Each structure stands twice: as structure tokens, then as C-alpha cells.
Amino acid sequence: MGAKSFIVRGKGNADSFCSCSHGAGRKISRSEAKRTFSLKDHREAVAGVECRVDEHLIDETPMAYKDIDAVIAAQSDLIEVVH
């Protein structure tokens, strides 16, 4: 959310049932994000990103998610980054 996107190709690793993460994954829960971050925090975090910004989406703020580069790196045995 608000970071970047990857196009990946699965390597067909049977140990992971030929699966991989479909996103970065949450670092904190939705309710914790709503308690922790303000609408101002969220607005600043998504500055320059085309998205809806309102109090109903604070739980989707980029700070609530893991670092996508670390998640991609952790799956190097599962995926090949295409783009």
C-alpha cells in the first residue's frame, strides 16, 4: 500500500504448495493501525499516490504493512521477479 508493485513468476516450489505471498502482509492489526495513526499521518504517507484518503482507510496506511522489499527477498526460493 503506497510503496511499489512487483510482477513475479512462481518457481513451483512444492514445499510451499506452489504458493507465495500475495502482498507485503500486515505489520500491525487493522484496529491497532486505527488507534495508532491519524488521518494526517495517513494523508502524508500516501502523498503522491492516487488513492482515496479518508478516516475509513487509516487501517490501510502504508505504515501498517511490512516492507515489500524484505518480503520479496524472503521469497527468493518461491518467486522470480519479472518486473
18 DSSP assignment: T
Q: How far apart are CA 1 and CA 23, in angstroms?
A: 9
Residue positions annotated with a catalytic role: 22
H or E element, residue 41: helix 39-45
d(CA 68, CA 4): 8
